[in-house]
Structure formats: structure tokens, C-alpha cells
Structure 1
Amino acid sequence: MIRFADRASLLAALDNLPAPCAVSTGAARARQAELTKPPGSLGRLEDIAVFMAGWQGTAVPRLHHVRGAVFAGNHGIAQQGVSAFPPEVTRQMVDNFMAGGAAINVLARCCEAQLSIVPLDLDRPTGDIAQEPAMSDAECLKALNAGAAVLTPETQLLFVGEMGIGNTTPAAALAAAAFGGDGNQWCGYGTGVGPDGLARKIKAVDRALALHHEHCTDPFETLRRLGGREIAAMAGAILAARLHRIPVLLDGFIASAAIAPFTARQPRFADHCIAAHCSAEAAHQILLERLGLQPLLRLGLRLGEGSGAALAVPIIRAAIATHGAMATFAEAKVARS
């Protein structure tokens, strides 16, 4: 199991990221050329099959074990009225997750994913990022390692989600710190805040950037100062997945923002990720472009929880199934021209 001992070990991991297996990638492409279909006729399904082959290190990948994890944390910035819901909803929704009654529970069952729910010190909100760092070094490391710990040896595909009232505000701040811009560019309506709430979000993000920007000299410090426990946990899980060569289905704006600091340091960090969808949050498309990812789905989602990623799992299953189970031209005795 991956564990980050300190800031230095996290940065060392980022500077030594594994790549997919080029031999397996080539073999998978060669197999695609032999299947009974016109070249390229299955579109992105073909690309996904080759992608999975490269990360699994085999010409014919399999998908038996999908792992989903939802991390929950509370934010000091929520007290500034940046959300349509009060902070106590975070714990109430965690109870709902545990009881199996939320959208992600239903969607995880539909896509046959094993789902973990990981609440992170819900009784202790992070610091208000407009006034102080979100977390101490120790708190940030604890959250990163909580994320890394959700991976199991049999995991072949990971998706992560979040629950944390107010967390689109730190997500916007992380995106701005990583890729430039201000609150006006990166803030949106989240789960339904009105124009006054949006104005408060923009102001809070701009204050946070002014306070912390000069100190955000590396990804750890950026996450520590501007993030949140559930955001750092998602980042830790996605980094650990890369280190284990496990592909990741990336969910919405907040999950994407969680890896923005990593991508600012390593532009190809998201090479093991597939963007499951583009959410209704206005800046998500911009963020995906910065990450170098094209979304599979556009369904107008803005729920979080990993819901968009869960919806995309059947597409990955279909890509792998067609790649592995279709007959070749030789097997089917079909003429190629």
C-alpha cells in the first residue's frame, strides 16, 4: 500500500511517475486492427481499450474489480455563505451514503463497483481559506494517505467522489492557483447558490489567492493551504492509483481540481485518467482542457459524489468487452476487402 511519509515523499512520487506499457499498447492496437469491423468504427471505445491495455500491461485487458470511494469533509469557508446548503448537511449525507440511499449508492450498484465511504474529521472543519491555511502539514498528509488507503490489490479501475458543503470554493481556488485566473473565471453556481452567493464565492476565492499565492510553491503546499480534507484525499487516491498503474475515471469539477496542483508540476499527471463527464459547473470544461482530457459524457450533472464517473463505468466495460470478445477477421473467416 502506498503511504506518503511527508511532503518530500509526495513530491518524489510526483517526480517519478510510471508510464503505461508501450509493448502492451502496441499489441492492443494491433489486435484492434484485426477485429471484424472497419478501422476506427468503434470510435473512443477502441481508444479506451488500448488505454486500459497499456496501464494493465496486457494486450487484452480485463475489468472485474471497480473501486469507488466517496470522501467527505467540512470547510471553514462554508460559514461565509458560499453554498446553498448549511454545513451540517455534510454529515447528514454521509449517513445517507452509509445507509445506501444516495445517488452514488444506486449508481455504484448499477455499474457493479465496490463503494467505500470515508468521512474525514467531520467535527473539525478546515480553516477558512480566505483567512488561514485549510490544514496543517499533518492534517494534509493524513487526508492524502486516507485517499491512498482505499486502493485494494485487486482494483483495476478507480473512481473517487466527494461530499463537503462549500467545496466548490476551495476547488476554484486550487484551479486558479494551478492554472492562473481569479475567482470570476473559476467560480460557478455549484449545487444551486444564487447570484449573491456566487459573488461571495468569488470574493472568498480572490481573498484566498491573495493570502496564499506566494506560499503555494509546490503541490503539497497548494493542497494544504487552499484545499480540504476530502479534496486532498481524492488527490492522494488518484496519485496512488498512478503509482500502482491503475486507471482512474475522473468525476466532476472538484475531483478534477483536486489534481490541478499535481498537473501544474507534472503536465502529464492525468495520463492515467479518463474524464468521465463534463459537469454543469461552468469552469469544468476549462479545467478539463488544462488537464488535457476529453469527457466521455455531457449530461448536465452537478451532484458530485462520483456520480458522473459511476455512469461512465459501463462504457469502459463495453470497450474492454468488444476488444476482448470480438472475433478477428481470421477467426470469423470474414474477408477484409
Structure 2
Amino acid sequence: MNEFTIPALRPPDAALAATIQAKIDTKTKPLGALGQLEALARQVALIQQTITPVLHRPHVLVFAADHGIAAAGVSAYPADVTHQMVRNFAAGGAAINVFCRLHGLELRVVDAGVRGSFADLPAARNQKIAEGTRNFLHEPAMTPAEMHRALNLGAALVSEVHGTGCNVVGFGEMGIANTSSAAVLLHRLGGVPLADCVGRGTGLDAAGLARKHAVLAAAVAAHPAVDGTDPLAVLATFGGFEIAQLCGAMLRAAELGMVLLIDGFIASAALLVAWRLAPAVLPSCVFSHESAEGGHPHLLRVLSAQPLLRLGLRLGEGSGCALAYPLVQAAVAFFNDMASFESAGVSQVAAD
């Protein structure tokens, strides 16, 4: 087994911070008038360690996989929908396809562990670990070997994408029942009460939500030795192949100095694992939105994250990344192109 090597990440060098802030503060606007865009510009400049940041060949990577826990009735949709949606992605018909085309992002769709073959679909990259995870109500979702392979495959894909010149990458997913995995990851690794982690997923009614909570409580009780002190054990026991590949991909992207666009609840759960493994991953992360899925606000609080958008989204697919990307572009554009008081000949407010 080739074990995944956790990168020794360090936060961006803060030596440029004062210069970056001065550049922002001398733009032709009142101090702080562009609000969160100013923080975003500062973040991108620090990630890239430059006062002239650029965004090259933005990508969205969508990892898809099936989950054994779906057999316990935790989703409103049948497991076959994962396979069907990958075909929809490959055909260009999903929301993420529309948004990526609209905003000029390159989309890559990855079969991380979907039941069935996509041999007829060159657009679906084959990184299949197995035909879905096992049912973690009864046994660990994956073996350590499967988990390490998934982490390594995710990392390798980001290295490949980075090699094309890409320096900003969004992370999305697809997998029926993956909100169940994300909920337990948040509970175990974030210390959040399970009831606050469990949401309606694809649209469960009240009875379905109660059943989902009962199933996940039983699953947690079935693995008492797996706690938050060992993030990889938690990932292997309760995670999904798409979540593991996302985690590996995020860690490699941070290692390569890329800007990471984080989507909703599932992608954030993958980041939670990555953060517990290498806390310095966080400064590279732009949180695209706060999902309407019940656990996501709690997860964002655990990560001390400030999302760019609150649109009531709960789709996944990386859709929030594609919608938020124009804000990243706007932040970089004002930072690079907006006139300063000096260059524009505009008077500044007199100092007290």
C-alpha cells in the first residue's frame, strides 16, 4: 500500500501583508468600502505571494461516488441517481456545466467510486476505487488501503491540473447519501452534536429526517473506538471515496500554492478532514457559500470560515464555486486595476 503523505503545509508568508494592505487602502474609495472583496483580494495576494495576483485557467473538479449507507434509507433519492448524474455531467446538462460555461471554468468529472461503468464516456475520468463504499452502519466504509489510494488519486489529479497552468481550483461532488457521511465526519471531527449535523439532504420529509438521524446515531455507536483523535480512521470508517479524493486534492492544491474554492457541506467536510491533518490548509481556502443543508453553518463555524454567498443552495456539484468565482475575479481586478488616490489625483480624507 502506498500511503498518502500528508504535506507539511505552512501558512503564506505574511511579510507582504502590510504592502498588500497599503495597496488596498490607497485605492480610490473609503477605507474598507469594498468589504469582503478587500479581504478576498488580500487573501489571493498572500496565497500567490505577490502584489499583482493573476488567475489562470480556473477549474472545477467534481468527484462522484456511491455510498453503502444509502441502503439504510437515508436519502430521498435512489442510489442509481449518482450514476445517472455523472452521465448528465458528461453530457453537459447539469447546473455545474451551465455555470462553468457561463463563467469560463474548465470542468473535470471524476468517477471516484460510482456503481457501474462509464467506459463509453471519455469525459468521466476513471479513478474508481470500488463500486461504492461499504455500509458504515455495519462495517467501515473503506479499508485503509482504499482510503490511501483515494487520497493519492485526488492529489495526483490536482498535480496534473496544476501542470496545465491552473492556479485556482474549485471542489465539488456528487453521491447519493453523502450528506450522511459528511454529517458523521462533522460530528466526530468537529465535536458538533449529531442532531445539528444531520440535514434533509436531497429533500427528506420529517419522518425521513428522523430515520436518517436514528441510522447515523446507530452507526456512530457501532464504531465507539473511532473518535476525533485520528482523522484518517474517521475518514476510512465514515467517509466516501469522493470525500477522500477531495481531501487529497485539497491538500495538494494548498501545497502547490493554488487558490482553493470550497463548495458546500460535502466539500467542506472533506476540507475538515484535510484541516485536521494539516491546519495550514485553511489560508488557501475561499468558501464560496453557506449551504442550506443543516450541518453546513456549524461546519463553517468550526473552520472559522466566512462564506461569500448565502443563496440557499444545497445542490453540490461545485455549483457554489462556479457562482462565487466572479467575485474572486472582481477582487483581483480591483486590486490590480483600480486607481490609487495618487494616480487618479483624488484627494484623500485628511488625517485627524
Change in Cα spacing, 1:96 to 1:32, as seen in structure 2 (3 Å) is same
1:258 counterpart = 2:260: no
Equivalent residue pairs, number? 329
1:144 counterpart = 2:158: no
Q: Distance in 2 between matches of 1:313 and 1:176?
A: 30
- Give the corresponding residue for 2:118: none
Q: Distance in 1 between matches of 2:136 and 2:33?
A: 49
Percent identity reads 44
Match of 2:106 among 114, 123, 148: 114
1:246-305 Cα deviation digits (max 9, x unpaired):
121111111111122333455554221121111111221111000110111110111000
Query: What root-mean-square deviation, in Å, do the aligned CA atoms of Structure 1 and Structure 2 show?
Result: 1.6
Do 1:25 and 1:59's aligned partners in 2 also have CA atoms closer than 8 Å?
Answer: no
- SS of the residue 1:245 aligns to: coil
**Pairwise CA distance, 1:18:** 2.2
Do 1:177 and 1:213's aligned partners in 2 also have CA atoms closer than 8 Å?
Answer: no
Do 2:41 and 2:332's aligned partners in 1 also have CA atoms closer than 8 Å?
Answer: yes
Do 2:183 and 2:198's aligned partners in 1 also have CA atoms closer than 8 Å?
Answer: yes
- Give the corresponding residue for 2:38: 46
Counterpart residue type for residue 128 of structure 1: N
Do 1:89 and 1:165's aligned partners in 2 also have CA atoms closer than 8 Å?
Answer: yes
Counterpart residue type for residue 58 of structure 1: T
1:240 counterpart = 2:252: yes
Counterpart residue type for residue 300 of structure 1: G
Query: After superposition, where does 1:8-157 map in structure 2 within 5 Å?
Result: 9-10=5-6, 13=7, 16-123=8-115, 124-151=131-158, 152-153=162-163, 154-157=165-168
- Give the corresponding residue for 2:346: 334
Match of 1:210 among 218, 221, 235: 221
Q: Distance in 2 between matches of 1:329 and 1:19?
A: 31
1:34-70 Cα deviation digits (max 9, x unpaired):
2111111111111111100011010121113211100
Match of 1:193 among 200, 204, 216: 204
Do 2:9 and 2:278's aligned partners in 1 also have CA atoms closer than 8 Å?
Answer: no
Q: Distance in 2 between matches of 1:77 and 1:183?
A: 16
- SS of the residue 1:298 aligns to: coil
**Pairwise CA distance, 1:179:** 1.7
Counterpart residue type for residue 71 of structure 1: F
Q: Distance in 2 between matches of 1:293 and 1:191?
A: 24
1:168 counterpart = 2:179: yes
- Give the corresponding residue for 1:226: 238
When normalised by structure 1's length, the TM-score is 0.93
Which segments of structure 1 move beyond 4 Å, counting only runs of 4 or more?
265-268
Change in Cα spacing, 1:31 to 1:181, as seen in structure 2 (3 Å) is closer
When normalised by structure 2's length, the TM-score is 0.89
Q: Distance in 2 between matches of 1:127 and 1:78?
A: 10
- Give the corresponding residue for 1:179: 190
Do 1:116 and 1:150's aligned partners in 2 also have CA atoms closer than 8 Å?
Answer: no
- SS of the residue 1:38 aligns to: coil
Do 2:2 and 2:149's aligned partners in 1 also have CA atoms closer than 8 Å?
Answer: no
Counterpart residue type for residue 148 of structure 1: A
- SS of the residue 1:256 aligns to: helix
Do 2:247 and 2:273's aligned partners in 1 also have CA atoms closer than 8 Å?
Answer: no
**Pairwise CA distance, 1:182:** 4.0
Change in Cα spacing, 1:205 to 1:277, as seen in structure 2 (3 Å) is same
**Pairwise CA distance, 1:5:** 3.8
Q: Distance in 2 between matches of 1:287 and 1:55?
A: 23
Q: Distance in 2 between matches of 1:41 and 1:74?
A: 45
- Identify which range, 209-218 or 302-311, moves more after superposition: 209-218
Match of 2:3 among 1, 6, 11: 6
Do 2:89 and 2:97's aligned partners in 1 also have CA atoms closer than 8 Å?
Answer: yes
Do 2:100 and 2:322's aligned partners in 1 also have CA atoms closer than 8 Å?
Answer: yes
Q: Distance in 2 between matches of 1:146 and 1:240?
A: 11
Do 1:179 and 1:264's aligned partners in 2 also have CA atoms closer than 8 Å?
Answer: no
Counterpart residue type for residue 111 of structure 1: H
Counterpart residue type for residue 177 of structure 1: R
